[in-house]
A and B are shown apart, each in its own frame.
Chain A
Amino acid sequence: MRVTGAIIVGTPLETLILSALMGLVAVVVALIYLALRPKYGRRGGQAEEPYLSGEGPEIVRRSEAPSPSLFWGFILGYFRKLYAFLRDYMHTGRLSDWAAYMAGWLGLAGALALIVSIYALIWGWP
């Protein structure tokens, strides 16, 4: 296998080199930005207000959920559905359902252990 044109380094050094190059590009882009940006005076009045779709500023004074809470709300909401699905199928309150569930999982684990044991005995551990 050919190894051409590559600088082979350790992973920590590669992280450092790429981070340094990333910083270099960031500085160059910042300089280009500073050179190209137009000069405008500071605006006042409506331009200073947050854009609220024409609503008055009083709507932002109302209590609202912060971004992290919305994020966890979506994520937990999704996993709550998964939890409800598992709960409804596993915890029906009937002993036979519980026994079937436990037997099913233990049976699967037992079967897997048996297959792996036989495989390891005959062909050796991979």
Chain B
Amino acid sequence: MVGAVTVALLVFAVLVFPGLLFLFVLSMLTEWWERKIVARAQARMGPSYVGPAGVLQPFADFIKLLSVKEEIRQKFASPGIAKAFAFAAIGALSATLLMLPLSPVRLAASYDIIVLSYICCVWVPFAVAVMGMSFPNPFTGAGVSRFLTLYAVCEPAFFAAILVPVALTTSVVGTPLPYSVLFTAQYSWRLWLNPATAVVMLVALSAAAVATQAKAMAHPFNIPEAEQELIAGHMTEFSGQILALNNLIHDADVAVSALLITYFFLGGPYPFPHLSVPGVILMIVKYVAVVTAVSIIKASFGRFRIEQGVAALVKYSLIPAVIALLAAMFISAYPVLAAGA
């Protein structure tokens, strides 16, 4: 029976840490770091004036858009629908974090990897697509169609890739609950201790990294927004508050994807506990490494055309992820192959 204290803890977790407030701060800091790295790669300064080293610039941009700038509503727009889905997407991303060991109160269930995919990988792209379509415009239509095309490949690829550590942790390491997000995040680091599972994890990690690049709509997969080609694609008509919410969803999606990779593939703070200095430092280092990798790839590529983007995703993300998943299933059938993990 769930008591009042547990309910209060759940509400605290989803609204403060690691939910809404923490996710907001993490998203803004992630955006700042990404902008700094990309600027550095392009011999620019990046954010510099607001706060030390410009760290408060994304906060200032968000608050300005939300509370100062005017929202221009064209006559065919349905801003209410767009905002309702934006709120739902932010809620979905905040609730996702309660499944990770980062949370002081963690939810776990058998096969809850399906719940993760429903909450995180379905709600967010669906909400972004609806937000775009709520502001009808030829550029928006083309942007949304490209967005859906890209996500039709990158979300299955991302899900197949994260299924690899989930399946291997269940069968090889042995967890109290099968296919559980929480226990995978806690024990997946052991998969790097065995050569057979380490190779499979490496393939799945590279597939997940490519899919994350597409989920972040960062170069070379910034095809839906396609600046100077589609104006801003699905965001063409966004301004003021709806643009602030869209930017927050984008940054939060990148942050949650990076956190999932940090936990599922890089082991989070483990083998150290969360509440220890080495654990916190290790966790931050791994997270920053993931975001830095995304930013460096972003700064190094031009934009693909849509068919090139889909082909690249199939070749470098979906197929490797499926191969890694098949290998994981094979190892799961013969755990003796992964002795020591």
Residues of A within 8 A of B (CB): 1, 3, 5-11, 13-15, 17-19, 21-30, 33, 36-38, 40, 42-43, 47-53, 59-60, 64, 66-68, 70-71, 73-75, 77-78, 126
Residues in A neighbouring B60, C-beta threshold 8 A? none
Instruction: Tell me, yes or no, whether B42 is within 8 Å of chain A by CB.
Output: no
Contact with A along B95-108 (1 / 0, CB 8 A): 11011000011111
How far does the alpha carbon of A78 sit from the alpha carbon of B72 in the complex, in Å?
Answer: 37
B141 touches A70 (CB 8 A): yes
Other-chain contact of B67, A19, A25, A37, A70 (Cβ < 8 Å): A37
B74 touches A51 (CB 8 A): yes
Instruction: Tell me, yes or no, whether B320 is within 8 Å of chain A by CB.
Output: no
Other-chain contact of A24, B15, B138, B237 (Cβ < 8 Å): B15
**A-B contact list, 7 entries, CB within 8 Å:** A17-B10, A49-B75, A50-B136, A52-B137, A64-B138, A77-B307, A78-B307
Closest 4 CB pairs of A and B: A70-B145, A25-B91, A22-B91, A26-B91
> Contacts A5-B104, A21-B95 hold; do A10 and B70 have CB atoms under 8 A apart?
no
A16 to chain B: closest residue by CB: B115
> Contacts A14-B115, A18-B98, A51-B139 hold; do A33 and B241 have CB atoms under 8 A apart?
yes
Other-chain contact of A7, B6, B144, B307 (Cβ < 8 Å): B6
Other-chain contact of B237, A6, A28, A50, A126 (Cβ < 8 Å): A50
B115 touches A11 (CB 8 A): yes
Residues in B neighbouring A27, C-beta threshold 8 A? 87
B74 touches A21 (CB 8 A): no
Residues in A neighbouring B145, C-beta threshold 8 A? 67-68, 70-71, 73-74
Of A8, A27, A60, chain B has the most CB atoms within 10 Å of the CB of A8
Of B15, B137, B141, chain A has the most CB atoms within 10 Å of the CB of B141
Q: How far is the CB of A81 from chain B (nearest CB, A)?
A: 8
B146 touches A74 (CB 8 A): yes
B91 touches A15 (CB 8 A): no
A48 touches B74 (CB 8 A): yes
Interface residues of B in 294-341 (CB under 8 A from A): 306-307, 310-311, 314, 333-334
B75 touches A48 (CB 8 A): yes
Interface residues on B, range: 35 or more
Q: How far is the CB of A122 from chain B (nearest CB, A)?
A: 14
How far does the alpha carbon of A10 sit from the alpha carbon of B2 in the complex, in Å?
Answer: 13
Other-chain contact of B109, A14, A49, A74 (Cβ < 8 Å): A14
Residues in A neighbouring B175, C-beta threshold 8 A? 1
Interface residues of B in 93-133 (CB under 8 A from A): 94-96, 98-99, 104-112, 114-115, 118-119, 123, 133
A22 touches B141 (CB 8 A): no
> Contacts A5-B105, A33-B66, A33-B87 hold; do A11 and B111 have CB atoms under 8 A apart?
yes
How far does the alpha carbon of A29 sit from the alpha carbon of B93 in the complex, in Å?
Answer: 12
Q: How far is the CB of A75 from chain B (nearest CB, A)?
A: 6
B75 touches A22 (CB 8 A): no
> Contacts A6-B107, A38-B68 hold; do A22 and B88 have CB atoms under 8 A apart?
yes
B92 touches A22 (CB 8 A): yes
How far does the alpha carbon of A66 sit from the alpha carbon of B10 in the complex, in Å?
Answer: 43
Other-chain contact of B20, A7, A10, A17, A25 (Cβ < 8 Å): A25
How far does the alpha carbon of A66 sit from the alpha carbon of B140 in the complex, in Å?
Answer: 11
How far does the alpha carbon of A121 sit from the alpha carbon of B73 in the complex, in Å?
Answer: 71
Instruction: Tell me, yes or no, whether B49 is within 8 Å of chain A by CB.
Output: no
B104 to chain A: closest residue by CB: A5
Residues in B neighbouring A67, C-beta threshold 8 A? 133, 141-142, 144-145, 148
A21 touches B91 (CB 8 A): yes
B94 touches A60 (CB 8 A): no
Instruction: Tell me, yes or no, whether B45 is within 8 Å of chain A by CB.
Output: no
Q: How far is the CB of A52 from chain B (nearest CB, A)?
A: 7
B110 to chain A: closest residue by CB: A11
Instruction: Tell me, yes or no, whether B162 is within 8 Å of chain A by CB.
Output: no
A25 touches B15 (CB 8 A): yes
Instruction: Tell me, yes or no, whether B149 is within 8 Å of chain A by CB.
Output: yes
How far does the alpha carbon of A49 sit from the alpha carbon of B73 in the complex, in Å?
Answer: 9
B236 to chain A: closest residue by CB: A51
How far does the alpha carbon of A9 sit from the alpha carbon of B144 in the complex, in Å?
Answer: 37
How far does the alpha carbon of A90 sit from the alpha carbon of B20 in the complex, in Å?
Answer: 55
Q: How far is the CB of B64 from chain A (nearest CB, A)?
A: 10
